[in-house]
Structure 1
């Protein structure tokens, strides 16, 4: 199959999120401008978008599917500015340069919820694993990649969220998930929705 050919990458706005216009030549001869957003600066974004998938996948952020010893999932309600309301999700956050994915998950947990990964006597996380490759938040709109970390978690202290973050952590028992999904009216992160739906109603059981 003949694919569209990327011709130019133009940055049209700056800020925490940057907007780019990619111009493609389509196989039928037409030209297509396509708008995207990214946190990456122009040179890095252009290098990556022109790479055609040869680089090692890496994650920009982590999302933590935390599970407690008494069979509950750790969720958060967080005020999300684009939605102007509290939204339900798993704890998540941006990964620092070269930061280990599992330790990034632990840092975000402590900051947002006061929970941490369950650790052994040497301080190593137990029952924690990262997804084999990152997934992408919205392939039609941007390039944000996220590693999922599945881990046993426990409360160790108080959260230390930033002053612009408004987050409430709560535990959801496995047996309460179907009722929660039926009754919840807060916007729900797609990653959270998928995990909870599969726990409540395994599609391939």
Structure 2
């Protein structure tokens, strides 16, 4: 039974052995540094990396409307590791038999309800190199809207609850700053860095546009 007004809450945190985990493994790396000194490092790795050799995709997206300024769709969802709502671009893991492009189209449809067209795919990028070998690719996609398109139905998995928010590209940086000030909200670094780069290019005078 759904409880739309209930706030998610962590009820227990316990240690997890790699042998009992489904998605993540924990390892100790032994290595020698540039000076030849033996050292160790703790690293979390994903168990789900497929033939693409990339774990995940994030979909930077642009919505084009005949009478409105270019916009992007943000998604907001509860993330247990943070015990907070994160503001992100749509994203997801790449299935074992998928390419980054295929995963992006599938995940974008599931989370937003919209069909999209891929316009570019980034090289593989480190997700959090100090803690994990997880990597990802940024797939830019485009959606062309009609004059009065209705919001399509999402295709969410059991347990997923994702709010969709449309903001203009010009307003994206300011909106993310606003979200970051809200209680129990966190803006995803990948999204904020993209928006901050756009803002820097427009306001610093150091970039030729």
Answer whether contact 2:125 2:135 (CA < 8 A) is retained: yes
Say which SS state the counterpart of residue 53 (structure 2) adopts. coil
1:67 maps to 62
Cα shift at 1:181: 3.3
1:151 aligns with 2:146: no
Change (3 A) 1:69 1:28: closer
Superposition misfits of 4+ residues, deviation over 6 angstroms? none
What is the root-mean-square deviation in Å for CA atoms of aligned residues? 2.4
Return the alpha-carbon distance in structure 1 between the equivalents of residues 59 and 161 of structure 2. Answer: 18
Change (3 A) 1:129 1:161: same
Cα shift at 1:57: 8.0
1:13 maps to 18
The TM-score normalised by the length of structure 1 is: 0.75
The TM-score normalised by the length of structure 2 is: 0.73
2:5 maps to none
Cα shift at 1:138: 0.6
Cα shift at 1:112: 1.1
Cα shift at 1:13: 2.6
Cα shift at 1:80: 0.6
1:167 maps to 162
Cα shift at 1:25: 3.4
Change (3 A) 1:23 1:166: same
Q: Unmatched 5+ residue regions in structure 2?
A: 1-16
Change (3 A) 1:38 1:184: same
Q: What does 1:5-84 align with in structure 2 at a 5 Å threshold?
A: 13-14=18-19, 15=21, 16-26=23-33, 30-40=37-47, 58-70=53-65, 71-84=70-83
Return the alpha-carbon distance in structure 2 between the equivalents of residues 201 and 29 of structure 1. Answer: 40
2:100 maps to 101
**What CA deviation, in whole Å up to 9, does each residue of 1:88-135 have, x standing for no partner?**
010000001231222211110111111220xxxxxxx3x62211x110
Answer whether contact 1:177 1:200 (CA < 8 A) is retained: no
Cα shift at 1:27: 5.5
Q: Unmatched 5+ residue regions in structure 1?
A: 1-11, 45-55, 118-124
Cα shift at 1:142: 0.7
Cα shift at 1:137: 0.5
